[in-house]
Structure 1
Amino acid sequence: MATTLGTASADPGEIDTGRLEVGETRDGTPFGLPVAVINGTGSGKTLYLQAASDGDELNGVGVIQRVVPQLDPTELSGTILIVGIVNFHAFQVAEHRNPIDDTKMNRAYPGNETGTSSERIAAATFDVATRADMILDLHQGSTSRMIDEVRVRCGSRHRLHDECLELAKVFDCGYVLDQKGPDGQLARAAPDEGIPTVDPELGGCVGWDETSIQKGVDGVFNVLQYYGFLDGDVTLHSQTRAKGFEQFGAPAGGLVRFEADLGDRVRHSETLFTVTTPFGEPKSEVTADSDGILWRTRRLPQVATGEYVCSVATEIDEY
C-alpha cells in the first residue's frame, strides 16, 4: 500500500519527495514544505524526522541531506516520514523566528490549522508527526557554541519519560538534557499523544558543522537499527545526563575570555571567564557557582553589561 505525505507518495520499496502545502506567501502564491516518504518493503514502525523548525538551525538539514541518499527502501522495514525544512519563511531569510508572525516555531505546537502562519505550519507538521511511532526533531544551539546533546523535554513524571530517555540514549550524542521543556515544543506536545520524542541539539554554528552533522547521521542510523527499521546491532553507551543549568551574564561590558572549553568539567569557584578591555586589561572575573560541565557559550566575544555569556550544566549523572 502506498504511503503519502503531501504530494509525495511511495509504494513499498520506494522513495518519493514532494511538498506539503501549508499556506500562501504575501503575493498569494502557494508554498509547501519539502517532504519525503521512504516506504520499506517489510512491515514495521514509522519514524518521523524533521529539521529547521528554527530557520537558522541548519545542521539538521545537513543530516537529512546525508541520510536519505544512503537509504535503500528495499532493505527497510517500516516507514520514514520526513519534513526537511519546517520553518519555511525563516529558512528563506536565514533567521531564527518566522518573520511573518515573529514566532519561534518550536513554541507553536500542536498548532492551529486556522491560526497564524507558524500555528498553521505547526498544525500541519504535527498531523504528520502523530502518524509515527517515534519522532526525531533535529535542532542545534542556534548560532551559539554548544556541545552535541539530545533533549528529553516531556519531564521526569511523564508516562513516556523512560521511552524518551531510551530514544535519547540510542541516538548516542554522549550528552542528554533531561529537563521539562516550555509549552509549545514538539518534544513536549507529541509525548502527550503517546509518541516518544526527542530533540537532538546538534552543536551550534553559523552554517554547517560537519562534526555535528555526522553525529546526527550516526544517531539516525542508530535509531533505525535499534528499532528494527534496518538490520544491525546497536551497542548502548553510557550518557552524561544533566537535569539543571546555571546561566551566567557579563558583570561588565568588554571582551570575554573563556578559561574553560565546551564539555570541560568545572568546579565550584573555578573561573569560567574574564571580561577585559580591548587592551587586555581585566575588568571582571566570573566563577562557577556549582560543580558542572560548561555546556553552552556565546559565540562573539564582545558583551554588554548583563548580556548572556555561558551556561553550566548541573545535577549531572551517568545512565
Structure 2
Amino acid sequence: MTTTLGTASAGPGEIDTGRLEVGETRDGSPIGLPVAVINGAQPGKTLYMQAVSDGDELNGVGVLQRVVPQLDPAELSGTILIVGIVNYHAFQVAEHRNPIDDTKMNRAYPGNENGTSSERIAAATFDVATRADLVLDLHQGSTSRMLNEVRVRCGKRHRLHQDCLELAKTFGCGYVLDQKGPDGQLARAAPDEGIPTIDPELGGCVGWDETSIRKGVEGIFNVLTHYDFLEGTVELERQTRANGFDQYGSPNGGLISFEKDLGDRVVRGDTLFKVTTPFGETKATVTADNEGILWRTRRLPQVATGEYVCSVGTDIDSY
C-alpha cells in the first residue's frame, strides 16, 4: 500500500522525500517542511519522528541526517514518517521561538489549522503524528549544557505512562526525566490520542554535538529493533530516572564557577557553584537544597542577579 506525506509518496519497499505545505511566507511563497516516507517491504507498525520543533535545537536533524541513509526499506517492516524541520521560521533565523508569532512550538499542540503560524504547523504535524503507533520528538537543551536524556511527559497517572516509560527505556540515553510536561507539548498531546510518545533531549550545544547525535542514532535503531521494524534484539539497560527538578538562579551578578560536573551526584549542602568578580573574589556560594544529579547548566559564565544557572534532577531512582 502506498503511503504519502505531503508530496512524498512511497510504495512497499520504497523511500521518498518531499515537502509538507503549512502556509506562506511574508512574500507569499509557500512554506514546505522537509518530509520523508520510508515504507517497509513488510507490514508492521508506524513510527513518526520529528526534529527542530525549537529552531535552535539542531541535534535532532543531525540524527535524522545520519539515520535515513542507513535505512533500507527492503529490510524494514512497517512505515516511518518523518518531518525533518518543524519550526520553519525559527530554523531560518537560528532562533528558539517562531519569530512570526513569538511562540515556542512545543507549547502549541495539538494545534489549530485556522490559528497562528505555530498553531497551524502544530496542527499539520500533529495530524501526521496521529497516524503513528509510536512518536519520537527529537529535542536538545537549546544552548545549555545538559545530560543526554529522554523525557516522559504524559504524567504518572496517564493510561500510557508505562508504555511511554518502555519507549524511553528502549531509546536508552541512560537518563530519564519522568515529569508531567506543560500543556501544548507533543509528548503530552499524543498520548491522549493513545500513542506512546517521548521527548529525547539530546544534550545541549551551539550547533551540533557529535556525542549527542551518535546517542540519538543509537536510540532510534534501538526503537526500530525492539518494536520489530528491523530484525534483531535489544538488551534494555536500566535507566537513571529523575522525577523532578530543582532549578537554581544566581543571587548576584558576576561570573559562575561550577564545583560539580554534569552527571555528578550531589547531596544537600554540596556546593554547586560560586559567583565571583572578574578578579576571582567570591560574592556568593550556592549549595544543593536536596540530593540529586547535576542535570543541566548554563553555557556562558556571566550572569545577572536572578539569572538561570543550573538544574539538579531530584527524587532519583532507576527502572
TM-score, length of structure 2 as denominator length = 1.00
Partner of 1:91: 91
Amino acid paired to 2:184: G
Superposed structure 1 runs of 4+ greater than 4 Å apart: none
Gaps of 5+ in 1: none
Partner of 2:75: 75
Q: Secondary structure at the match of 2:168?
A: helix
Superposed CA deviations along residues 195-245 of structure 1, whole A, max 9, x for unmatched, are 000000000000000000000000000000000000111000000000011
Percent identity between the two aligned chains:
83
TM-fit CA distance, 1:146: 0.5
Partner of 1:173: 173
Deviates more, 1:243-252 or 1:148-157: 243-252
CA distance in 1, matches of 2:216, 2:231: 19
Q: Secondary structure at the match of 1:278?
A: coil
TM-fit CA distance, 1:11: 0.6
CA distance in 2, matches of 1:30, 1:62: 25
Partner of 1:225: 225
Amino acid paired to 2:200: P
User: Is residue 276 of structure 2 the alignment partner of residue 268 of structure 1?
Assistant: no
CA distance in 2, matches of 1:248, 1:122: 31
CA distance in 1, matches of 2:105, 2:75: 34
Q: Secondary structure at the match of 1:97?
A: coil
TM-fit CA distance, 1:20: 0.2
After superposition, where does 1:68-217 map in structure 2 within 5 Å? 68-217=68-217
TM-fit CA distance, 1:177: 0.3
Partner of 2:66: 66
CA distance in 1, matches of 2:113, 2:254: 46
Q: Secondary structure at the match of 2:310?
A: strand
CA distance in 1, matches of 2:248, 2:37: 43
Q: Secondary structure at the match of 1:9?
A: strand
Superposed CA deviations along residues 56-113 of structure 1, whole A, max 9, x for unmatched, are 0000000000000000000000000000000000000000000000000000000000
TM-fit CA distance, 1:267: 1.0
Amino acid paired to 1:228: D
CA distance in 1, matches of 2:106, 2:245: 20
Aligned residues: 319
Amino acid paired to 2:62: G
RMSD: 0.4
CA distance in 2, matches of 1:119, 1:30: 17
Partner of 2:291: 291
TM-fit CA distance, 1:295: 0.3
Amino acid paired to 2:27: D
Partner of 1:239: 239
Q: Secondary structure at the match of 2:119?
A: helix
